[in-house]
Structure 1
Amino acid sequence: MMKNILLAAIIVILSSSLAIAGENVSSTIKEVTIYSSGAVVKREGTTKIGQGRHDLLVDVDVFALDKDSITAKVFGEGEVLGVQLNEINVPELPQEPVKALESKLKKLKESKRLLTDEKDVLAKKEAFLTSIGRCPQGQAWSDGKTILPKVHELEQLLTFLTVSFKGINDRKQPLDVKIEDLDKEIGAVERELASLRGSRQKTKKVIEIAFSSRKEQAVRIETAYLVPHASWHPVYNVSVPSDLKQADLVMFSSIKQKSGEDWKNVSLSISNVVPLKGASLPDPGSWFLDISRPRPMMRKAGSMPATAGVSAPITAEARQDLAREREAELAFAEKTETPLSFEYRLPMQVTVESRDKETMVPLFSRKLDGQFSYYAVPKANPLTFLVCRASADKELLSGFMNAYFAGRFVGKTFIAEKKAGEDFQVNLGADREVKVARETLRDKLKETSWGFERNTVVRDMAYKITAENLKDRPVTIRIIDTIPVSKTDRIEVKDLKVTPEASEKAYQGRQGVYVWDLEIEPGARKQINIEFTVTYPRDELVIGL
Structure 2
Amino acid sequence: MRKLSGFILVFILGINLSFAQKIIPSKISKVTIFTNQALVTREAQAEVSPGINQLFLEISPFNLDKDSLQAKVWGEGEVFSVQYKEIPVKEMPQENIKKLEEELEKLGDKLRVLKDEKKVLQKKEDFLNSLIDFSEVEIPKELKTSFPQTSDLKSLLLFLEENLIQINKTSQDLDLKIRELEKEIEVKRRELASLRKPSQKVKKVIEILFNSFREQKINIEAGYLVYNVSWKPLYKVNVPLDLKEINFTMFAKITQNTGEDWKEVKATISNVLPLRGVTLPSLDTWWLDISRGYKYKNGLKNWGGEKAHTSLQILAFSPQREAKFAQAKRVELPLSFEYELSQVLNLPSEDRETILPLFSKTLKGEFFHYALPRVNPLTFLVCKAKPDKELLAGYLNVYLGGRFIGKTYLGEKKAGQEFKIPLGADREVKVEKKKIKDEIKETFFGKIERKTIIRKLAYKIVLENLKDKEINIKVLDNIPVSRTDKIEVKDLKINPQPKVKDYQDKKGVNLWEIKLKPEEKKEINIEFTLTYPKEVNIWGL
- Which residue of 1 is the match for residue 284 of structure 2? 285
What amino acid does structure 2 have at the position aligned with 1:394? K
User: Judging changes above 3 Å, is the alpha-carbon distance between structure 1 residues 372 and 433 closer, same or farther for their aligned structure 2 residues?
Assistant: same
Query: What CA distance in whole angstroms lies between the structure 2 residues aligned with 1:28 and 1:264?
Result: 9
Cα displacement (A) at 1:277? 0.3
User: Judging changes above 3 Å, is the alpha-carbon distance between structure 1 residues 454 and 465 closer, same or farther for their aligned structure 2 residues?
Assistant: same
Matched, 1:25 2:21: no
Query: What CA distance in whole angstroms lies between the structure 2 residues aligned with 1:134 and 1:345?
Result: 71
Any stretches of 5+ residues in structure 1 without a counterpart? 1-13, 94-102, 140-145, 295-311
- Which residue of 1 is the match for residue 4 of structure 2? none
Residue 125 of structure 1 aligns to a residue in which SS? helix
- Which residue of 2 is the match for residue 415 of structure 1? 410
User: Judging changes above 3 Å, is the alpha-carbon distance between structure 1 residues 332 and 184 closer, same or farther for their aligned structure 2 residues?
Assistant: farther
User: Judging changes above 3 Å, is the alpha-carbon distance between structure 1 residues 29 and 474 closer, same or farther for their aligned structure 2 residues?
Assistant: same
Query: Within 5 Å, which residues of 2 pair with 1:466-477?
Result: 466-477=462-473
- Which residue of 2 is the match for residue 273 of structure 1? 272
Matched, 1:494 2:493: no
CA deviation digits over 1:8-30, x for unaligned, max 9? xxxxxx98997956611111110
Residue 347 of structure 1 aligns to a residue in which SS? strand
Query: Is the contact between residue 365 and residue 384 of structure 2 (CA under 8 Å) also seen in structure 1?
Result: yes
Query: What CA distance in whole angstroms lies between the structure 2 residues aligned with 1:192 and 1:241?
Result: 48
- Which residue of 2 is the match for residue 6 of structure 1? none
Residue 166 of structure 2 aligns to a residue in which SS? helix
User: Judging changes above 3 Å, is the alpha-carbon distance between structure 1 residues 425 and 180 closer, same or farther for their aligned structure 2 residues?
Assistant: farther
User: Judging changes above 3 Å, is the alpha-carbon distance between structure 1 residues 522 and 39 closer, same or farther for their aligned structure 2 residues?
Assistant: same
- Which residue of 1 is the match for residue 299 of structure 2? none
Query: Is the contact between residue 41 and residue 225 of structure 1 (CA under 8 Å) also seen in structure 2?
Result: yes
User: Judging changes above 3 Å, is the alpha-carbon distance between structure 1 residues 35 and 138 closer, same or farther for their aligned structure 2 residues?
Assistant: closer
What amino acid does structure 2 have at the position aligned with 1:233? K
- Which residue of 2 is the match for residue 441 of structure 1? 436
Query: What CA distance in whole angstroms lies between the structure 2 residues aligned with 1:457 and 1:111?
Result: 88
Matched, 1:340 2:335: yes
RMSD (Å), alpha carbons? 4.5
Query: What CA distance in whole angstroms lies between the structure 1 residues aligned with 2:179 and 2:488?
Result: 62
Query: What CA distance in whole angstroms lies between the structure 2 residues aligned with 1:474 and 1:68?
Result: 64
Cα displacement (A) at 1:332? 0.5
- Which residue of 2 is the match for residue 97 of structure 1? none
Q: Number of aligned residue pairs: give it.
A: 496
Matched, 1:530 2:529: no
- Aligned counterpart for 2:517 among listed residues 518, 521, 525: 521
Question: In terms of mean alpha carbon deviation, does 158-167 or 479-488 score higher?
Answer: 158-167
Query: Is the contact between residue 256 and residue 356 of structure 1 (CA under 8 Å) also seen in structure 2?
Result: yes
User: Judging changes above 3 Å, is the alpha-carbon distance between structure 1 residues 158 and 471 closer, same or farther for their aligned structure 2 residues?
Assistant: closer
Query: Is the contact between residue 466 and residue 526 of structure 1 (CA under 8 Å) also seen in structure 2?
Result: yes
Residue 168 of structure 2 aligns to a residue in which SS? helix
- Which residue of 2 is the match for residue 405 of structure 1? 400
Query: What CA distance in whole angstroms lies between the structure 2 residues aligned with 1:29 and 1:149?
Result: 81
Query: Within 5 Å, which residues of 2 pair with 1:423-434?
Result: 423-434=418-429
Query: Is the contact between residue 122 and residue 168 of structure 1 (CA under 8 Å) also seen in structure 2?
Result: no
Query: Within 5 Å, which residues of 2 pair with 1:292-441?
Result: 315=305, 325-441=320-436
Query: What CA distance in whole angstroms lies between the structure 1 residues aligned with 2:433 and 2:415?
Result: 37
CA deviation digits over 1:127-182, x for unaligned, max 9? 4567788699999xxxxxx9957437999998897566545532343356557777
Query: What CA distance in whole angstroms lies between the structure 2 residues aligned with 1:188 and 1:411?
Result: 35
Cα displacement (A) at 1:385? 2.1
User: Judging changes above 3 Å, is the alpha-carbon distance between structure 1 residues 531 and 64 closer, same or farther for their aligned structure 2 residues?
Assistant: same
Query: Is the contact between residue 401 and residue 413 of structure 1 (CA under 8 Å) also seen in structure 2?
Result: yes
User: Judging changes above 3 Å, is the alpha-carbon distance between structure 1 residues 407 and 153 closer, same or farther for their aligned structure 2 residues?
Assistant: closer
Query: Is the contact between residue 365 and residue 385 of structure 2 (CA under 8 Å) also seen in structure 1?
Result: yes
Query: What CA distance in whole angstroms lies between the structure 1 residues aligned with 2:373 and 2:340?
Result: 46
CA deviation digits over 1:462-489, x for unaligned, max 9? 2211111222222111111122222333
Query: What CA distance in whole angstroms lies between the structure 2 residues aligned with 1:76 and 1:444?
Result: 94
Cα displacement (A) at 1:505? 1.4
Any stretches of 5+ residues in structure 2 without a counterpart? 1-12, 94-102, 294-301, 309-314
Question: In terms of mean alpha carbon deviation, does 210-219 or 480-489 score higher?
Answer: 480-489
User: Judging changes above 3 Å, is the alpha-carbon distance between structure 1 residues 418 and 382 closer, same or farther for their aligned structure 2 residues?
Assistant: same
- Which residue of 1 is the match for residue 219 of structure 2? 220
Cα displacement (A) at 1:266? 0.9
Cα displacement (A) at 1:284? 1.6
Cα displacement (A) at 1:394? 1.9
- Which residue of 2 is the match for residue 85 of structure 1? 84
Question: In terms of mean alpha carbon deviation, does 390-399 or 518-527 score higher?
Answer: 390-399
CA deviation digits over 1:106-139, x for unaligned, max 9? 98x9998766544422332344567788699999
User: Judging changes above 3 Å, is the alpha-carbon distance between structure 1 residues 275 and 492 closer, same or farther for their aligned structure 2 residues?
Assistant: same
User: Judging changes above 3 Å, is the alpha-carbon distance between structure 1 residues 491 and 260 closer, same or farther for their aligned structure 2 residues?
Assistant: farther
- Which residue of 1 is the match for residue 48 of structure 2? 49
Question: In terms of mean alpha carbon deviation, does 237-246 or 50-59 score higher?
Answer: 237-246
What amino acid does structure 1 have at the position aligned with 2:67? D
Query: What CA distance in whole angstroms lies between the structure 1 residues aligned with 2:284 and 2:436?
Result: 54
Query: Is the contact between residue 128 and residue 164 of structure 2 (CA under 8 Å) also seen in structure 1?
Result: no
What amino acid does structure 2 have at the position aligned with 1:543? W
User: Judging changes above 3 Å, is the alpha-carbon distance between structure 1 residues 293 and 497 closer, same or farther for their aligned structure 2 residues?
Assistant: closer
User: Judging changes above 3 Å, is the alpha-carbon distance between structure 1 residues 126 and 363 closer, same or farther for their aligned structure 2 residues?
Assistant: closer
Residue 346 of structure 1 aligns to a residue in which SS? strand
Indicate the percent of aligned positions where both proteins have the same amino acid. 45
Query: What CA distance in whole angstroms lies between the structure 2 residues aligned with 1:187 and 1:416?
Result: 44
Query: What CA distance in whole angstroms lies between the structure 2 residues aligned with 1:378 and 1:32?
Result: 51
Query: What CA distance in whole angstroms lies between the structure 2 residues aligned with 1:453 and 1:110?
Result: 97
Query: What CA distance in whole angstroms lies between the structure 1 residues aligned with 2:213 and 2:185?
Result: 53
Residue 122 of structure 1 aligns to a residue in which SS? helix
Question: In terms of mean alpha carbon deviation, does 415-424 or 182-191 score higher?
Answer: 182-191
- Aligned counterpart for 2:458 among listed residues 422, 437, 462: 462
Query: Is the contact between residue 112 and residue 179 of structure 1 (CA under 8 Å) also seen in structure 2?
Result: no
What amino acid does structure 1 have at the position aligned with 2:209? A
Query: What CA distance in whole angstroms lies between the structure 2 residues aligned with 1:533 and 1:212?
Result: 91
Question: In terms of mean alpha carbon deviation, does 166-175 or 363-372 score higher?
Answer: 166-175
CA deviation digits over 1:343-400, x for unaligned, max 9? 1111221222222222222222222222222211222222222222221222222222
Question: In terms of mean alpha carbon deviation, does 113-122 or 266-275 score higher?
Answer: 113-122
User: Judging changes above 3 Å, is the alpha-carbon distance between structure 1 residues 537 and 18 closer, same or farther for their aligned structure 2 residues?
Assistant: farther
Cα displacement (A) at 1:528? 0.5
Query: Is the contact between residue 20 and residue 86 of structure 1 (CA under 8 Å) also seen in structure 2?
Result: no
User: Judging changes above 3 Å, is the alpha-carbon distance between structure 1 residues 181 and 366 closer, same or farther for their aligned structure 2 residues?
Assistant: same
What amino acid does structure 1 have at the position aligned with 2:69? I
What amino acid does structure 2 have at the position aligned with 1:213? S
CA deviation digits over 1:245-279, x for unaligned, max 9? 32222222222221111211111111111000011
- Which residue of 2 is the match for residue 100 of structure 1? none
Query: What CA distance in whole angstroms lies between the structure 2 residues aligned with 1:462 and 1:111?
Result: 80
Query: What CA distance in whole angstroms lies between the structure 2 residues aligned with 1:538 and 1:292?
Result: 27
Question: In terms of mean alpha carbon deviation, does 157-166 or 323-332 score higher?
Answer: 157-166
What amino acid does structure 1 have at the position aligned with 2:54? D
Cα displacement (A) at 1:409? 2.3
Query: Is the contact between residue 491 and residue 528 of structure 2 (CA under 8 Å) also seen in structure 1?
Result: yes
What amino acid does structure 2 have at the position aligned with 1:466? V
User: Judging changes above 3 Å, is the alpha-carbon distance between structure 1 residues 129 and 486 closer, same or farther for their aligned structure 2 residues?
Assistant: same
Query: What CA distance in whole angstroms lies between the structure 1 residues aligned with 2:487 and 2:185?
Result: 61
